[in-house]
Amino acid sequence: MGEIPALAPLAQRTLDGWHRFVGSPDRDLLASLLSEHIVFRSPFVQSPIPGREATLLVLTTVVQIFENFRYYRTFVAGSHDVALEFAANIGKWQLKGIDLITFNESGEMVEFEVMIRPIKALAALGEKMGNRIGPQLARLKEAAAASSRPAFDDAAGRSPPCARGGLVARIGRLVGPFWPSPGTLP
């Protein structure tokens, strides 16, 4: 059998901080654990949610909504990747989920992806989250999208046809995920 992977020391320190945050939701503690450029991947939407402010909003809200939240297994996938299996309740619904977290060399969280089942518990969570932070999260996502607009946009904020779904976008779908998708070009 192979060697059991361990988290890098800075990543482990951040993970320990994450567990402290979950135990007593402290926004400042959480902010210190997140990279400014973290990407949050929600089980509700296909597009990633970029940025520290949006991630802070989502995570500080969800810990208020979950009842009886507990982590019960940890899987280390390398020196900077961890999966945390959890269970919680939302009203009458019991749920299970996984948090997939990636850390940078400084130990900051740079990716945070959540998966939840069953669908009825996910729907209940989505409704509660939408009621609490829907408009505010939409504004943060719009601001992030506006700040990452390609440098070659015209004065009206439109990308050239090739970046809006023309030939370059069609080739990207054929070539694979390493090709930048429309709207993500530098």
Q: What is the pLDDT of residues 45-87, one digit of tens each?
A: 888 999 999 999 999 999 999 999 999 999 999 999 999 999 9
pLDDT of residue 148: 67
Question: Tokens in use for 40?
Answer: 């949050």
d(CA 66, CA 124): 11
- 121 or 47: which carries more pLDDT confidence? 121
HEC-encoded secondary structure of 82-124: EEEEEEEEECCEEEEEEEEEEECCCCCEEEEEEEEECHHHHHH
**How would residue 144 be classed by pLDDT, with cut points 50, 70 and 90?**
confident
- 149 or 22: which carries more pLDDT confidence? 22
pLDDT of residue 2: 66
pLDDT of residue 151: 44
Question: Tokens in use for 15?
Answer: 């993970």
**How would residue 138 be classed by pLDDT, with cut points 50, 70 and 90?**
confident
Mean per-residue pLDDT over the chain, rounded:
82
pTM of the full structure: 0.76
Q: Strand runs (DSSP E) across the chain, as ranges?
A: 34-41, 49-50, 67-78, 81-90, 93-103, 109-117
Whats the size of the chain, residue-wise? 186
Q: Which domains does the chain have, with CATH numbers?
A: 9-148 (3.10.450.50), 150-186 (no CATH)
